[in-house]
Amino acid sequence: MKKVAVLTSGGDAPGMNAAISSIVKHGAAYGMEIYGVSHGYEGLINHEISRLRPEDTEDIIHCGGTFLRSARSEYFRTVEGQKQAIAVLKEHEMEGLIVIGGNGSLEGAMKLSSHGMPTIIIPATIDNDVNGTEYAIGFDTAVNTVVQSIDKVKETAASIERTVIIEVMGRDAGAIALWAGIGTGADSIITPEADVDINQVISRIEQNQKRGRLHNIIVLAEGAYSGEELKQKLQEKINLEIRVLVLGYLQRGGAPSAYDRMIAHEMGKRALDLCKRSHTGVMVAVKNGKVTEHTFVQAADEKLEKSILAR
């Protein structure tokens, strides 16, 4: 392949820019032309394609978000939209496509590959819930952002003796809540993967009260409850002053950690190496701590342990 396009899709994740920079840098070294697609699959359908040179991306590694921007596309979900996307790529003489994103992006890449467009995916989502890989770009940064926020809230909660519910991202996966909760010594951690026992949460609060500790930190993944829903459920059973803090987009922003920059760089290079060898239908992955790759079918079927402890 001599002409390869790259796009970012779905929610942004810190480290996406490092992956883009790596692809462009190594593309130049390989004598390949790299083109950026703005606004994900929607931008692809709308011909938002432009040439990227190393000087265009050399100063974006430390930036959060995505240099190429991202958007969701309902039209791309249709067969007509997918065929139009491929027609646009062919019109621009693209020989391959690298997609950086999470599960929705993986599904889109699989569709394009099934229609005959050579496609590679790099997993990037702060939820770290992509099958076939132990790690997705952005998770380390997001967890550290949440940990820093909880550390600050704990000081206030202790000073004014409040129970604070901290709602973090994680619609289908509670990895952020679990890692950040354990990392900050939270009193309770609630995730979508585990059955929620409100009585157990209350029991821990009461145990703290008996010890004279009148503040509590509950870390909640949004897929289990909203913070306000959990607050209501608790107050139905215990007389307690509770505050809710929703971290929201804060978790997705900010400069990527050193780890996310490094793993994104390696994943970007591996993706381009796969394009260079004319591979298709492959996801770059991390397994046993090392960057490797799987076919889309293998990735979809393999649900790897994410090194998360149950609590």
DSSP state of 149: H
Transcribe 260-283 into DSSP letters. HHHHHHHHHHHHHHHHHTT--SEE
273 carries an active-site annotation: no
DSSP state of 285: E
Residue in 12, 127, 187, 260 annotated catalytic: 127
Rg (alpha carbons) of the chain, rounded to whole number: 21
Dist CA 272 CA 228 (whole Å)? 45
Dist CA 279 CA 10 (whole Å)? 24
Residue owning tokens 């799987």: 294
Task: Tell which residue, 79, 109, 65, 58, has the closest CA to residue 294.
Answer: 109
Helices (H), the chain: 16-29, 40-45, 54-57, 79-91, 103-114, 139-160, 175-184, 198-210, 227-235, 258-276, 296-301
Catalytic site residues? Answer: 127
